[in-house]
Amino acid sequence: MPSERLSRYAKIRRRETLERTLRAGAVARTSYCRVCYRVGEGPPGVAFLAGKRVGGAVKRNRAKRVLREALRTSSADLSGIETLVFVASHRAATARYSDIRRTLHAELRRISDHDS
């Protein structure tokens, strides 16, 4: 059975890349997360963050897991994006997946259309 990981997107492994994206990247907001991104050569490097404000470890992990799945199922063309950093809000830990998926897909389409 093939793996369903985010194989088309590399994880951001360097702290400098993550900090540069958070500090100087463009920002798109949804009610469930903040998406910081930098335009450049794709496919993008991706990171998912959830701070202590989201809740305990279980809630933080759920928020990141739901955001990862929403990105994985997205059909938006993100080839013009260099890095994507998703910062979960406290609402992402308790919201329905379908709501998160719908809003994140719309935002990713807007980002991909705006930056192409």
Note the pLDDT tens digit of each residue in 62-98.
Answer: 999 999 999 999 888 888 899 999 999 999 999 999 9
pLDDT digits (tens, 9 = 90+) for 7-16: 567 899 999 9
Measured torsion, CA atoms of residues 106, 56, 37, 24, in degrees rounded to the nearest 10: 140
Give residue-wise pLDDT tens across range 35-57. Answer: 999 998 867 899 999 999 999 99
Report the C-alpha gap between 113 and 111 in whole angstroms: 6
Whole-structure pTM value: 0.88
Tell me what pLDDT residue 35 has.
Answer: 95
Given this model, what pLDDT does residue 92 score? 94
The CATH class given to the 10-114 domain equals alpha beta
State whether residue 87 is helix, strand or coil.
strand
Write out the two tokens for 35. Answer: 């998406």
Given a cut of 50, whether residue 25 has pLDDT beyond it is yes
- In the chain, domain spans: 10-114
Count Cβ neighbours within 10 Å for each residue of 51-78 and write b for 16 or more, e otherwise. Answer: eeebbeeebbebbbebbbbbbeebebeb
HSE-CB for 106 with a 13 A CA cutoff: 10
